[in-house]
Copies of this chain bind each other. A is one copy, B any other.
């Protein structure tokens, strides 16, 4: 499958690497694509790996993944434009966080979420919020922690799109437990977990953790 990443940082590079290993044609979109030669080289200059502008990555993808910093996601996606994303699934992995006065804060609006903002700005696109509650290392390797006995949340307005993405999470990465939280406004709940995750990180001293709903 052709997969385009909007954003080429740690998350885009990590997910992109694994998806290339699975045989997908991945294009990382960046503000300055020329800076990504190291990433291509680290993949042995695989023919499946390419880089480009944000718009080129969006146009490349049958499936598109938003892996930009949440605080700039809307601006970057709007520079890509609605046409390149229309009709497609956009997996929104972004974390809407900001540091102000030395404190981690949510950059999403009160009683709102970045996921909803993106869905509102791109009504022809099927936005699915997921993977945003764990580190990139865990995103692509959930079985590395407690044999996968922990949960990934997913939310979005289009049930078929959510089912398709959930199937990808199982096939590509091995996710076992995927909890459907409902429509895209559930992104308020999962984006808000940033505040909890940063505290748990402080308590445990490492980021190799995830939540499990015990019921």
Binding site for B on A (CB under 8 A): 100, 103, 105-106, 110-111, 145-146, 149-150, 153, 155, 179-182, 185-186, 188-190, 192-193, 195-196, 198-200, 202-204, 206, 208-215
Contact = CB atoms under 8 A, between A and B. Distances in A.
B188 A195 contact: yes
A213 B209 contact: yes
A194 to B, nearest CB: 9
A188 B194 CA distance: 11
A154 to B, nearest CB: 10
A181 B202 contact: yes
Nearest to A149: B214
Q: How many identical chains are in the complex? A: 2
Nearest to A186: B199
Given A105-B111, A110-B110, A111-B105, A199 B214 contact: no
A59 B100 CA distance: 39
Contact of A195 (B146, B189, B204, B210): B189
A188 B97 CA distance: 14
Contacts of A146: 214
Contact of A214 (B111, B192, B196, B212): B212
Nearest to A185: B103
